[in-house]
Homo-oligomer: A and B are copies of this chain.
Amino acid sequence: MTPPALDELLHSDDTTSIVAWLEETGTLDIADEFTRLDAAEMGVAFRLLPRDRALDVFEALDPHHQQLVLDGLLDDRIRHLLDEMDPDDRVRLLDEMPAKVAKRLIAQLSPDERSLTTVLMGYPEESAGRHMSPEFVSLRASMTAADAMAKIRREGPDAETVYALPVLDDERRLIGVTGLRALVLAAPSTLVGDLMSTDVHMVDTHSDREEAARLVREVGAIALPVVDSEDRLVGVLTVDDAMSILEDEETEDFALQAGHSPLRKPYLAVSAFGLARVRAAWLMILILGAGLTVTVLERFEGTLEQVTALALFVPLLIGTGGNSGAQSATAVIRAMAVGEVRFSDLPRIVWREARVGVMLGTMLGAGMFLPVAFVWDTELATVVSLTLLTICSWATLAGSALPLLAKRVGVDPAVVSAPFITTLVDATGLIIYFLIAQSIMGL
Protein backbone atom coordinates (compact mmCIF):
# COMPACT_ATOMS: atom_id res chain seq x y z
CA MET A 1 0.00 0.00 0.00
CA THR A 2 2.72 2.53 -0.86
CA PRO A 3 1.05 5.79 -1.87
CA PRO A 4 1.76 7.10 -5.41
CA ALA A 5 4.65 9.55 -5.44
CA LEU A 6 3.55 13.07 -4.54
CA ASP A 7 6.35 14.67 -6.55
CA GLU A 8 4.99 13.23 -9.81
CA LEU A 9 1.56 14.70 -9.12
CA LEU A 10 3.23 18.04 -8.35
CA HIS A 11 5.14 17.98 -11.63
CA SER A 12 1.88 17.42 -13.49
CA ASP A 13 0.35 20.51 -11.80
CA ASP A 14 -2.91 18.60 -11.42
CA THR A 15 -4.33 20.30 -8.32
CA THR A 16 -7.41 18.06 -8.09
CA SER A 17 -5.28 14.90 -7.94
CA ILE A 18 -2.94 16.45 -5.39
CA VAL A 19 -5.85 17.41 -3.13
CA ALA A 20 -7.32 13.91 -3.51
CA TRP A 21 -3.93 12.35 -2.70
CA LEU A 22 -3.57 14.53 0.40
CA GLU A 23 -7.06 13.53 1.53
CA GLU A 24 -6.47 9.80 1.13
CA THR A 25 -3.01 9.67 2.64
CA GLY A 26 -2.25 9.41 6.36
CA THR A 27 -0.48 12.23 8.20
CA LEU A 28 2.80 10.37 8.67
CA ASP A 29 2.92 9.25 5.04
CA ILE A 30 2.36 12.82 3.89
CA ALA A 31 5.17 14.00 6.16
CA ASP A 32 7.40 11.24 4.81
CA GLU A 33 6.71 12.23 1.18
CA PHE A 34 7.32 15.89 2.06
CA THR A 35 10.91 15.11 3.07
CA ARG A 36 11.53 14.03 -0.53
CA LEU A 37 10.31 17.29 -2.07
CA ASP A 38 12.26 20.49 -2.59
CA ALA A 39 11.26 23.61 -0.67
CA ALA A 40 9.08 25.06 -3.47
CA GLU A 41 7.15 21.81 -4.01
CA MET A 42 6.66 21.39 -0.28
CA GLY A 43 5.25 24.92 -0.06
CA VAL A 44 2.71 24.21 -2.83
CA ALA A 45 1.60 20.90 -1.31
CA PHE A 46 1.40 22.33 2.20
CA ARG A 47 -0.85 25.19 1.12
CA LEU A 48 -3.27 22.65 -0.38
CA LEU A 49 -3.78 20.94 3.01
CA PRO A 50 -6.86 21.86 5.05
CA ARG A 51 -5.89 24.02 8.05
CA ASP A 52 -6.20 21.36 10.80
CA ARG A 53 -4.52 18.62 8.73
CA ALA A 54 -1.75 21.11 7.97
CA LEU A 55 -0.92 21.44 11.66
CA ASP A 56 -0.76 17.64 12.11
CA VAL A 57 1.55 17.24 9.12
CA PHE A 58 3.69 20.15 10.29
CA GLU A 59 4.10 18.57 13.73
CA ALA A 60 5.09 15.24 12.15
CA LEU A 61 8.01 16.86 10.30
CA ASP A 62 11.50 17.20 11.77
CA PRO A 63 12.68 20.75 12.58
CA HIS A 64 14.71 20.99 9.36
CA HIS A 65 11.73 20.34 7.11
CA GLN A 66 9.44 22.43 9.32
CA GLN A 67 11.74 25.34 8.61
CA LEU A 68 11.57 24.73 4.85
CA VAL A 69 7.77 24.73 5.04
CA LEU A 70 7.74 28.02 6.96
CA ASP A 71 10.02 29.61 4.34
CA GLY A 72 7.22 29.27 1.78
CA LEU A 73 4.39 30.67 3.95
CA LEU A 74 3.03 34.13 4.69
CA ASP A 75 3.54 35.73 8.10
CA ASP A 76 0.09 35.19 9.60
CA ARG A 77 0.10 31.51 8.60
CA ILE A 78 3.52 31.10 10.23
CA ARG A 79 2.27 32.78 13.39
CA HIS A 80 -0.74 30.49 13.53
CA LEU A 81 1.33 27.33 13.11
CA LEU A 82 3.88 28.34 15.72
CA ASP A 83 1.21 29.37 18.19
CA GLU A 84 -0.52 26.00 17.92
CA MET A 85 2.63 23.88 18.41
CA ASP A 86 3.53 22.27 21.72
CA PRO A 87 6.04 24.53 23.51
CA ASP A 88 8.82 21.91 23.53
CA ASP A 89 8.43 21.16 19.80
CA ARG A 90 8.43 24.88 19.11
CA VAL A 91 11.72 25.27 20.97
CA ARG A 92 13.28 22.45 18.93
CA LEU A 93 12.26 24.27 15.75
CA LEU A 94 13.46 27.70 16.95
CA ASP A 95 16.78 26.12 17.96
CA GLU A 96 17.40 25.25 14.31
CA MET A 97 16.83 28.80 13.11
CA PRO A 98 19.23 31.73 12.92
CA ALA A 99 18.96 33.64 16.23
CA LYS A 100 17.58 36.75 14.52
CA VAL A 101 14.73 34.88 12.80
CA ALA A 102 13.90 32.98 15.99
CA LYS A 103 13.76 36.22 17.96
CA ARG A 104 11.40 37.82 15.45
CA LEU A 105 9.10 34.79 15.49
CA ILE A 106 9.03 34.62 19.30
CA ALA A 107 7.99 38.28 19.42
CA GLN A 108 4.97 37.44 17.25
CA LEU A 109 3.67 34.63 19.51
CA SER A 110 0.66 35.13 21.76
CA PRO A 111 1.75 36.31 25.25
CA ASP A 112 1.12 32.92 26.96
CA GLU A 113 2.97 30.89 24.37
CA ARG A 114 5.76 33.46 24.26
CA SER A 115 6.42 33.22 27.99
CA LEU A 116 6.38 29.39 27.92
CA THR A 117 8.86 29.50 25.05
CA THR A 118 11.25 31.94 26.71
CA VAL A 119 11.30 29.86 29.88
CA LEU A 120 12.27 26.69 27.99
CA MET A 121 14.87 28.50 25.90
CA GLY A 122 16.47 29.72 29.13
CA TYR A 123 17.65 26.20 29.96
CA PRO A 124 20.95 24.98 28.53
CA GLU A 125 20.94 23.07 25.23
CA GLU A 126 20.97 19.31 25.77
CA SER A 127 19.32 19.77 29.18
CA ALA A 128 16.10 18.10 30.32
CA GLY A 129 14.57 21.55 30.92
CA ARG A 130 14.85 22.43 27.25
CA HIS A 131 12.87 19.33 26.26
CA MET A 132 10.20 19.28 28.96
CA SER A 133 6.56 20.21 28.51
CA PRO A 134 5.66 23.12 30.82
CA GLU A 135 1.92 22.41 30.39
CA PHE A 136 0.94 19.66 32.80
CA VAL A 137 -1.82 18.87 35.29
CA SER A 138 -0.72 18.55 38.93
CA LEU A 139 -2.73 17.23 41.86
CA ARG A 140 -2.75 17.60 45.66
CA ALA A 141 -2.63 14.68 48.09
CA SER A 142 -5.77 15.97 49.83
CA MET A 143 -7.92 15.84 46.68
CA THR A 144 -10.34 12.97 46.13
CA ALA A 145 -10.22 11.02 42.88
CA ALA A 146 -13.39 12.88 41.85
CA ASP A 147 -11.79 16.28 42.53
CA ALA A 148 -8.77 15.18 40.54
CA MET A 149 -10.89 14.08 37.57
CA ALA A 150 -12.68 17.44 37.61
CA LYS A 151 -9.33 19.25 37.53
CA ILE A 152 -8.16 17.06 34.66
CA ARG A 153 -11.32 17.84 32.68
CA ARG A 154 -10.67 21.55 33.26
CA GLU A 155 -6.95 21.69 32.53
CA GLY A 156 -6.50 18.59 30.36
CA PRO A 157 -7.18 20.14 26.95
CA ASP A 158 -4.05 22.32 27.23
CA ALA A 159 -1.74 19.80 28.88
CA GLU A 160 0.72 17.68 26.90
CA THR A 161 -0.25 14.58 28.87
CA VAL A 162 -2.86 13.75 31.51
CA TYR A 163 -1.69 10.16 31.95
CA ALA A 164 1.18 10.89 34.35
CA LEU A 165 0.06 13.14 37.20
CA PRO A 166 2.54 14.69 39.65
CA VAL A 167 1.30 15.33 43.19
CA LEU A 168 2.55 18.54 44.88
CA ASP A 169 2.64 20.00 48.37
CA ASP A 170 1.78 23.61 49.23
CA GLU A 171 5.18 24.81 48.09
CA ARG A 172 4.74 23.14 44.65
CA ARG A 173 7.31 20.56 45.68
CA LEU A 174 6.89 17.07 44.27
CA ILE A 175 5.74 14.52 46.86
CA GLY A 176 4.40 11.71 44.68
CA VAL A 177 3.09 10.62 41.30
CA THR A 178 -0.04 8.87 40.16
CA GLY A 179 -1.67 8.12 36.82
CA LEU A 180 -5.01 8.69 35.16
CA ARG A 181 -5.50 4.92 35.18
CA ALA A 182 -5.35 4.74 38.99
CA LEU A 183 -7.82 7.63 39.28
CA VAL A 184 -10.27 6.08 36.83
CA LEU A 185 -10.12 2.67 38.52
CA ALA A 186 -10.40 4.07 42.08
CA ALA A 187 -13.62 4.82 43.95
CA PRO A 188 -14.44 8.56 43.50
CA SER A 189 -13.93 9.31 47.21
CA THR A 190 -10.42 7.82 47.39
CA LEU A 191 -7.77 10.35 48.34
CA VAL A 192 -5.00 11.07 45.84
CA GLY A 193 -2.59 10.72 48.76
CA ASP A 194 -3.63 7.08 49.09
CA LEU A 195 -3.33 6.39 45.37
CA MET A 196 0.02 8.02 44.69
CA SER A 197 3.37 6.31 44.66
CA THR A 198 6.12 7.94 46.68
CA ASP A 199 8.93 5.94 45.04
CA VAL A 200 9.29 8.89 42.66
CA HIS A 201 11.82 9.22 39.88
CA MET A 202 12.36 12.77 38.75
CA VAL A 203 14.85 14.74 36.75
CA ASP A 204 16.38 18.13 37.26
CA THR A 205 15.93 20.93 34.70
CA HIS A 206 19.70 20.96 34.28
CA SER A 207 20.08 17.16 33.99
CA ASP A 208 21.64 15.89 30.80
CA ARG A 209 18.82 15.16 28.36
CA GLU A 210 20.17 11.70 27.48
CA GLU A 211 20.31 10.59 31.12
CA ALA A 212 16.80 11.93 31.66
CA ALA A 213 15.50 10.08 28.59
CA ARG A 214 17.16 6.83 29.70
CA LEU A 215 15.47 7.18 33.08
CA VAL A 216 12.08 7.46 31.35
CA ARG A 217 12.87 4.18 29.59
CA GLU A 218 14.09 2.43 32.74
CA VAL A 219 11.10 3.51 34.80
CA GLY A 220 8.73 2.67 31.94
CA ALA A 221 6.92 5.95 32.62
CA ILE A 222 4.59 7.91 30.35
CA ALA A 223 6.26 11.07 31.68
CA LEU A 224 8.73 12.00 34.42
CA PRO A 225 8.42 15.14 36.56
CA VAL A 226 11.08 17.81 35.96
CA VAL A 227 11.98 19.92 38.99
CA ASP A 228 14.04 23.08 39.49
CA SER A 229 16.94 23.51 41.90
CA GLU A 230 14.48 24.01 44.78
CA ASP A 231 12.65 20.76 43.98
CA ARG A 232 9.64 22.63 42.63
CA LEU A 233 7.86 21.04 39.70
CA VAL A 234 8.29 23.03 36.48
CA GLY A 235 7.45 20.50 33.76
CA VAL A 236 7.25 16.91 32.62
CA LEU A 237 9.42 14.98 30.20
CA THR A 238 7.10 12.78 28.14
CA VAL A 239 7.98 9.37 26.74
CA ASP A 240 7.67 10.48 23.10
CA ASP A 241 10.16 13.28 23.71
CA ALA A 242 12.41 10.79 25.49
CA MET A 243 12.31 8.53 22.42
CA SER A 244 13.26 11.43 20.14
CA ILE A 245 16.14 12.38 22.41
CA LEU A 246 17.44 8.80 22.48
CA GLU A 247 17.22 8.55 18.70
CA ASP A 248 19.19 11.78 18.32
CA GLU A 249 21.80 10.70 20.86
CA GLU A 250 22.19 7.29 19.29
CA THR A 251 22.58 8.78 15.83
CA GLU A 252 25.26 10.98 17.36
CA ASP A 253 27.04 8.00 18.90
CA PHE A 254 26.99 6.15 15.58
CA ALA A 255 28.54 9.18 13.89
CA LEU A 256 31.26 9.41 16.54
CA GLN A 257 31.94 5.67 16.28
CA ALA A 258 32.55 6.17 12.58
CA GLY A 259 34.80 9.12 13.25
CA HIS A 260 32.82 12.12 12.17
CA SER A 261 30.82 14.88 13.79
CA PRO A 262 27.07 14.25 13.95
CA LEU A 263 24.90 15.78 11.22
CA ARG A 264 22.45 18.33 12.56
CA LYS A 265 19.85 17.45 9.92
CA PRO A 266 18.41 14.30 8.30
CA TYR A 267 21.01 12.62 6.04
CA LEU A 268 19.27 13.43 2.75
CA ALA A 269 18.84 17.08 3.77
CA VAL A 270 22.60 17.61 3.99
CA SER A 271 24.44 18.63 0.81
CA ALA A 272 27.54 16.78 -0.43
CA PHE A 273 29.62 19.74 0.68
CA GLY A 274 27.98 19.64 4.13
CA LEU A 275 28.80 15.92 4.44
CA ALA A 276 32.41 16.55 3.40
CA ARG A 277 32.71 19.31 5.99
CA VAL A 278 31.63 17.22 9.01
CA ARG A 279 33.94 14.39 7.96
CA ALA A 280 36.99 16.37 6.87
CA ALA A 281 38.05 17.63 10.29
CA TRP A 282 38.18 14.14 11.78
CA LEU A 283 39.95 12.65 8.77
CA MET A 284 42.58 15.40 9.10
CA ILE A 285 43.18 14.58 12.77
CA LEU A 286 43.25 10.86 12.03
CA ILE A 287 45.70 11.33 9.15
CA LEU A 288 47.99 13.30 11.45
CA GLY A 289 47.85 10.34 13.81
CA ALA A 290 48.53 8.04 10.89
CA GLY A 291 51.60 10.16 10.16
CA LEU A 292 53.13 8.41 13.18
CA THR A 293 53.08 5.13 11.24
CA VAL A 294 55.27 6.76 8.55
CA THR A 295 57.72 7.88 11.21
CA VAL A 296 57.80 4.43 12.84
CA LEU A 297 58.30 2.68 9.50
CA GLU A 298 61.05 5.11 8.57
CA ARG A 299 62.78 4.38 11.85
CA PHE A 300 62.73 0.66 10.95
CA GLU A 301 63.46 1.18 7.22
CA GLY A 302 66.79 -0.63 7.61
CA THR A 303 65.03 -3.71 8.98
CA LEU A 304 62.50 -3.55 6.14
CA GLU A 305 65.26 -3.42 3.53
CA GLN A 306 66.94 -6.48 5.06
CA VAL A 307 63.71 -8.53 5.16
CA THR A 308 61.21 -7.19 2.60
CA ALA A 309 58.83 -10.02 3.51
CA LEU A 310 58.13 -8.17 6.78
CA ALA A 311 56.32 -5.47 4.78
CA LEU A 312 53.82 -8.00 3.47
CA PHE A 313 52.19 -8.47 6.88
CA VAL A 314 51.95 -4.84 7.92
CA PRO A 315 48.32 -4.25 6.78
CA LEU A 316 47.13 -7.60 8.14
CA LEU A 317 48.71 -7.13 11.56
CA ILE A 318 47.66 -3.56 12.21
CA GLY A 319 44.26 -4.17 10.65
CA THR A 320 43.59 -7.08 13.00
CA GLY A 321 44.81 -5.06 15.97
CA GLY A 322 42.51 -2.23 14.97
CA ASN A 323 39.55 -4.59 14.62
CA SER A 324 40.00 -6.18 18.03
CA GLY A 325 40.50 -2.77 19.65
CA ALA A 326 37.34 -1.47 17.98
CA GLN A 327 35.34 -4.49 19.17
CA SER A 328 36.37 -3.92 22.73
CA ALA A 329 35.92 -0.11 22.67
CA THR A 330 32.45 -0.34 21.15
CA ALA A 331 31.29 -2.95 23.65
CA VAL A 332 32.45 -0.84 26.60
CA ILE A 333 31.10 2.45 25.18
CA ARG A 334 27.68 0.89 24.59
CA ALA A 335 27.59 -0.71 28.04
CA MET A 336 28.38 2.70 29.54
CA ALA A 337 25.71 4.43 27.42
CA VAL A 338 22.94 2.11 28.60
CA GLY A 339 24.18 2.33 32.18
CA GLU A 340 25.51 -1.21 32.62
CA VAL A 341 29.05 -0.11 33.42
CA ARG A 342 30.48 2.61 35.68
CA PHE A 343 33.98 3.97 36.22
CA SER A 344 34.32 1.87 39.38
CA ASP A 345 34.06 -1.22 37.19
CA LEU A 346 37.31 -0.26 35.43
CA PRO A 347 39.65 -2.80 37.09
CA ARG A 348 37.15 -5.61 36.51
CA ILE A 349 36.61 -4.67 32.86
CA VAL A 350 40.27 -4.20 32.05
CA TRP A 351 41.10 -7.56 33.60
CA ARG A 352 38.35 -9.28 31.60
CA GLU A 353 39.26 -7.58 28.35
CA ALA A 354 42.94 -8.31 28.84
CA ARG A 355 42.12 -12.00 29.10
CA VAL A 356 39.85 -11.73 26.05
CA GLY A 357 42.71 -10.12 24.13
CA VAL A 358 45.13 -12.89 25.07
CA MET A 359 42.59 -15.54 24.05
CA LEU A 360 41.88 -13.89 20.70
CA GLY A 361 45.57 -13.23 20.06
CA THR A 362 46.52 -16.83 20.88
CA MET A 363 43.84 -18.15 18.61
CA LEU A 364 44.66 -15.92 15.66
CA GLY A 365 48.40 -16.28 16.19
CA ALA A 366 48.12 -20.07 16.25
CA GLY A 367 45.93 -19.97 13.15
CA MET A 368 48.46 -17.93 11.18
CA PHE A 369 51.54 -19.94 12.18
CA LEU A 370 51.24 -22.89 9.79
CA PRO A 371 50.24 -20.98 6.62
CA VAL A 372 53.10 -18.48 7.09
CA ALA A 373 55.58 -21.23 8.02
CA PHE A 374 54.52 -23.19 4.96
CA VAL A 375 54.76 -20.33 2.39
CA TRP A 376 57.72 -18.51 3.98
CA ASP A 377 59.60 -19.94 6.97
CA THR A 378 59.12 -20.73 10.67
CA GLU A 379 61.11 -17.70 11.75
CA LEU A 380 58.72 -15.27 9.99
CA ALA A 381 55.79 -17.37 11.19
CA THR A 382 56.99 -17.01 14.79
CA VAL A 383 57.32 -13.25 14.40
CA VAL A 384 53.84 -12.90 12.88
CA SER A 385 52.17 -15.14 15.48
CA LEU A 386 53.84 -13.47 18.46
CA THR A 387 52.97 -10.05 17.05
CA LEU A 388 49.31 -11.01 16.65
CA LEU A 389 49.21 -12.20 20.25
CA THR A 390 50.81 -9.01 21.56
CA ILE A 391 48.88 -6.58 19.35
CA CYS A 392 45.49 -8.17 20.09
CA SER A 393 46.11 -8.09 23.83
CA TRP A 394 47.31 -4.50 23.73
CA ALA A 395 44.49 -3.30 21.43
CA THR A 396 41.78 -4.97 23.52
CA LEU A 397 43.22 -3.51 26.70
CA ALA A 398 43.49 0.00 25.27
CA GLY A 399 40.06 -0.24 23.65
CA SER A 400 38.40 -1.09 26.95
CA ALA A 401 40.26 1.27 29.27
CA LEU A 402 40.33 4.45 27.14
CA PRO A 403 36.55 5.08 26.97
CA LEU A 404 36.27 4.71 30.76
CA LEU A 405 39.22 7.02 31.33
CA ALA A 406 37.74 9.53 28.86
CA LYS A 407 34.49 9.59 30.81
CA ARG A 408 36.49 10.08 34.00
CA VAL A 409 38.11 13.25 32.69
CA GLY A 410 34.80 14.55 31.35
CA VAL A 411 35.16 13.64 27.67
CA ASP A 412 32.26 11.90 25.88
CA PRO A 413 33.48 8.27 25.75
CA ALA A 414 32.02 7.91 22.26
CA VAL A 415 34.76 10.27 21.04
CA VAL A 416 37.40 7.67 21.95
CA SER A 417 35.97 5.69 19.13
CA ALA A 418 37.01 2.92 16.81
CA PRO A 419 39.01 5.21 14.45
CA PHE A 420 41.05 6.62 17.34
CA ILE A 421 41.78 3.22 18.79
CA THR A 422 42.71 2.01 15.31
CA THR A 423 45.11 4.88 14.72
CA LEU A 424 46.67 4.37 18.14
CA VAL A 425 47.05 0.65 17.52
CA ASP A 426 48.50 1.23 14.04
CA ALA A 427 51.55 3.14 15.24
CA THR A 428 52.20 1.19 18.44
CA GLY A 429 51.49 -2.10 16.67
CA LEU A 430 54.23 -1.40 14.14
CA ILE A 431 56.75 -0.77 16.91
CA ILE A 432 55.77 -4.07 18.55
CA TYR A 433 56.07 -5.88 15.20
CA PHE A 434 59.55 -4.62 14.36
CA LEU A 435 60.92 -5.08 17.87
CA ILE A 436 59.74 -8.69 17.87
CA ALA A 437 61.16 -9.19 14.36
CA GLN A 438 64.52 -7.70 15.31
CA SER A 439 64.90 -9.80 18.42
CA ILE A 440 63.80 -13.10 16.83
CA MET A 441 65.58 -12.63 13.51
CA GLY A 442 68.62 -11.15 15.21
CA LEU A 443 68.60 -8.05 12.96
Residue pair B316, A315 in contact (C-beta under 8 Å): no
A290 vs chain B, min Cβ distance (A): 4
Give residues of chain A (214-258) contacting chain B, Cβ–Cβ below 8 Å. Answer: 216-220, 222, 239-240, 242-244, 246-247, 250-251, 253-255, 257-258
List residues of chain B with CB within 8 A of the CB of A356.
Answer: 272, 275-276, 279
Q: Please provide the chain A residues from 138 to 167 with a CB less than 8 Å away from any CB of chain B in the complex.
A: 149, 152-153, 156-157, 161-163
- Bound Cα distance A163, B329 (Å): 41
Stretch among A11-19, A121-129, A260-268 lining the B interface: A260-268
User: Which A residues between 184 and 204 are near B, CB-CB below 8 angstroms?
Assistant: 184-185, 199, 201
Q: In the complex, what residues of B have CB within 8 A of residue A349's CB?
A: 268
Asked if A411 lies at the interface with its beta carbon under 8 angstroms from chain B, I say no
The proximity string for A residues 91-116 relative to B, scoring 1 for CB distances below 8 Å and 0 otherwise, is 00000000000000000000000000
Chain B min CB distance to A372 (Å): 9
Q: Is the CB of B329 within 8 A of A312?
A: no
- Give how many copies assemble into the complex: 2
Chain A residues with a Cβ closer than 8 Å to the other chain, count: 113
Residues of B within 8 A of A407 (CB): none
**Given A275-B356, A301-B308, A338-B247, is A257 in contact with B259 using a C-beta cutoff of 8 Å?**
no
- Complex Cα–Cα for A383 and B157 (A): 69
Q: Apart from A259-B327, A272-B352, A279-B360, what are 4 other A-B pairs with CB-CB below 8 Å?
A: A246-B246, A257-B258, A258-B418, A283-B323
A-B contact pairs, 18 of them (CB 8 A): A32-B339, A152-B185, A163-B180, A180-B180, A217-B244, A250-B250, A263-B331, A272-B352, A279-B324, A280-B360, A280-B363, A283-B364, A286-B323, A287-B364, A293-B319, A297-B312, A304-B308, A319-B423
